[in-house]
Amino acid sequence: EVQLVESGGGLVQPGRSLRLSCAASGFTFENYAMHWVRQAPGKGLEWVSGITWNSRSIGYADSVKGRFTISRDNAKNSLYLQMDSLRAEDTALYYCVKDDQSSTYWYFHVWGRGTLVTVSS
């Protein structure tokens, strides 16, 4: 069974940093692109960032470009999101998501349950 388990969320002050992690199991992690998608409380879905299987292609939403950094460790079956200079508008549930492709971005095939990030003073 494919499983994605996020961790690292919490309450953080504006301007500070947080690092999210996602532990993947049940599939060959290195064969798939991966993403972070977020959902603000009571709002819709927003793609945050994606990374291809070999980390050669990385993409970011304009809203986080220059502040967030996605990375992966295929040996550890793990995906990461380093979030710097956090703002109140970054408050959301962050989902780790498996793509159905390896070297480009398609649709969001399997979702984790999310980790909540709250940015507030």
Footprint of another protein (CB under 8 A): 35, 44-47, 50, 59, 62, 95, 100, 105-114
In whole angstroms, the minimum distance from the beta carbon of 14 to another protein comes to 26
Residue placing its CB nearer to another protein in the complex, 44 or 66: 44
Residue placing its CB nearer to another protein in the complex, 41 or 121: 41
The beta-strand segments (E) located in 26-99 are: 34-39, 45-51, 58-60, 68-73, 78-83, 92-99
In whole angstroms, the minimum distance from the beta carbon of 83 to another protein comes to 19
What single-letter DSSP state applies at residue 67? T
Kindly state the tokens that stand for 28. Answer: 């060959």
Distances (CA, A) of 90 to 9, 52, 87: 12, 24, 5
In whole angstroms, the minimum distance from the beta carbon of 110 to another protein comes to 8
Residue placing its CB nearer to another protein in the complex, 83 or 97: 97
Residue that the structure tokens 């070999």 belong to? 54
